[in-house]
Amino acid sequence: MDKIVRINMGTEGGPEVSIGPLGDYAGFGGRAMTSAIVSKEVPPLCHPLGAANKLVIAPGLLSGSNAAMSGRISVGCKSPLTGGIKEANSGGQPSQMLGRLGYAAIVLEGKPTDDTLYKVLINGDGVQIVADNSLKMLGNYDLVGKMKAEYGDKVACISIGQAGEQKLSGASIAFTDMEQRPTRHAGRGGVGAVMGAKGVKVIVVDDAGMSKRSPANPDKFREANKTFVAGLKKHPVTGEGLPAYGTNVLTNVLNEAGGYPTRNFSSGRFDGASKISGETQAEMENTRGGEGSATHGCHKGCVIRCSGTFYSKNGNFLSKQPEYETVWAHGGNCGIDDLDVIAQLDRLDDDFGLDTIEMGATIGVAMEGGLANFGDGAAAINLVKEVGQGTPLGKILGSGAAVTGQVLGVERVPVVKKQALPAYDPRAVQGIGVTYATTPMGADHTAGYAVTANILGVGGNVDPLRPEGQIELSRNLQIATAAIDATGMCLFIAFAILDQADTFQALLDVISGFGGNDLTAEDVTNLGKSILKMERDFNAQAGFTNKDDRLPAFFTEEALAPHNVTFGVTDEELDQVFNF
């Protein structure tokens, strides 16, 4: 990948496309690319929806190659939700296709002077941008259907739904999967609102006629890739649990550990957990049948295959298999124990272009605020539909949990830097609480997944109920994660590389064999540190201080059942996370 395409949406006479070399960004990919461009080119104090902000879409360093698990993509900008730097990550087909086309990044900049909506086509002939107001307020599913009819059944799409067009802070960006369905999302931080502010509804990617990217050292790359895949397949999490039951295998695990946030983080156990667990979900999907039902990859080259396909009782496709965070957000967090209802909510979120974590947390806050009763699935569905319809209530809900809590006067609002906490209560999983508090991204479990050592015994064991050891755990995982996000690798490879030294070495050899260098563990660590430094420097210039690296007060004041524990890591300890 040797070029960056920039689309200036604010030039006189209409959008202007320019394609140039990597320049200062040579050697960057994924999160390293998005954070580098945002930190260098976006004024930290700019309005997130203004002309000065930029939306950066970047495949990983290995995307477009034969490297297993390398099809993730990063989206970066100044976040409308947090006000700080943002990297949101997604699977789907576009990353691999952009890599084969040679693009290391797409940068949307400037702002249209009117409300014209545009579609972009990127293929082997270059980049075209066309005004198309017929796309206005289409959901992602209808939108992708139109693009498929226009451009064929081999293209991939990057798109926004109604939430992005309305510039709502809970808006996601959809990436189509192998079946051309808009089921993979860069969900966090309101990145879809920035795409909407740029006036871009959809980017169509067509890599017809393009070859896979070739490694610099084919023999080393090929052998390392085989060893790496073998390591993933022999690990009990990546080789057994995730392929069989999907990410939702964690529901029973976290519920048993007393760390499953229930009814807006008021308890750590949900009585209906077994009804919505990964085991129950897989059994339902297998019974109903259908292609890709209980085991499915989110992009080509995935060997873990932790996704699936959810069919309705009538055998019709409804949504991709709802992931653990989605099942929790719309399930236990809202007191709902019906997988069919949760799948309907997942479908609506994907269609409207909404972050399932943010929306589930928002509905939980809305239920606590009296807009609906906990456990009322029909009411939850109607609340999400309000967002798609663009009603005043829908605009409030689509702006996220923090705004909704403020409007409704709810005190227990589970957010950090205004971004909703995911599916692990930090009182019972204290390492993930450190990550929530301190990551530059706002509350984000993927930024430093301390559930590994806190709950799963992967990479060691750190008592989840005690503050000791949590700072070092989160720090090391945040560094490693930033580096993994730069490669385009799926974060789930962490399970195997943390437990298996030979698999970690194989990963280093895959990267080295592809790039023609000799990468060491220290190089990976330094890359992760450099990414985090860029992100924290941006946030500091945007006005963030250590006071923003804190959990809401109720986590230190309200004891969580069943362990009756509060979050015990002190503010002074939290301030030590980034003392590299």
Domain ranges within the chain, ordered by starting residue: 3-205, 217-245+426-580, 249-422
> Given a cut of 80, is residue 376 above it in pLDDT?
yes
Question: Average pLDDT of 58-65?
Answer: 95
Beta-bridge partner residues of 6: 18, 107
Q: What percent of the chain has pLDDT over 90?
A: 92
Instruction: For residues 140-149, give the mean pLDDT.
Output: 98
Read off the pLDDT of each residue in 229-244 and give the average, rounded to a whole number. 92
| pTM across the whole model | 0.97
Calculate mean pLDDT across residues 246-274. Answer: 97
Question: Could you give the C-alpha distances from 94 to 56, 156, 180, 186, 211, in angstroms and in order?
Answer: 14, 6, 10, 12, 15
Q: Are 144 and 121 in contact (CB under 8 A)?
A: no
Kindly report the backbone phi and psi dihedral angles of residue 574, in degrees, each rounded to the nearest multiple of 5, phi listed first: -60, -35
Q: What is the pLDDT of residue 304?
A: 85
Could you give the angle at the alpha carbon of 226 between the alpha carbons of 220 and 232, nearest 5°? 130
pLDDT level of residue 292 (50, 70, 90 thresholds): low
Closest CA to 551 of 569, 578, 533: 569
| Gap between the Cα atoms of 309 and 316, Å rounded | 10
pLDDT exceeds cutoff 90 at 158: yes
Looking at every residue in the chain, the average pLDDT score rounds to 96
**Comparing 66-75, 297-306, 497-506, which segment has the lowest mean pLDDT?**
297-306
Read off the tokens for 16. 């202007």
- Give pLDDT, residue 295: 72
Q: Is 263 exposed, middle or buried (0-12, 13-18, 19+ CB in 10 A)?
A: middle
- What's residue 525's pLDDT? 96
Higher pLDDT, 306 or 455: 455
In this structure, what token pair is assigned to residue 191? 């990145």
Please state which architecture CATH assigns to domain 3-205: 4-Layer Sandwich (3.60)
State the pLDDT confidence band at 301, using cuts at 50, 70 and 90: confident
CATH of 249-422, picked from 3.40.50.300, 2.40.37.10, 1.10.287.610, 1.10.569.10, is: 1.10.569.10
User: What value does the mean pLDDT take over residues 415-435?
Assistant: 98
Domain 217-245+426-580 has CATH 3.90.1150.10: no
Count of CB atoms situated within 10 Å of the CB of 43 = 13
Residues 54, 414, 492, 190: what is their CA dihedral angle, to the nearest 10 degrees? -20
Q: Is 378 exposed, middle or buried (0-12, 13-18, 19+ CB in 10 A)?
A: exposed
Region of 568 on the Ramachandran plot (φ > 0 left; ψ -120 to 50 alpha; else beta):
alpha
Q: Give the contacts of 186 (CB within 8 A, at least 6 positions apart).
A: 73, 74, 75, 88, 89, 90, 172, 173, 175, 192
The per-residue pLDDT for 294 is 65
Asked if the model's pLDDT at residue 558 lies above 90, the reply is yes
Whether the Cβ atoms of residue 229 and residue 486 lie closer than 8 Å to each other: no
Where residue 241 falls among pLDDT bands split at 50, 70, 90? confident
- 123 has a pLDDT exceeding 70: yes
**Mean pLDDT, rounded, for 557-564:** 97
CB distance 338 to 384 below 8 Å: no
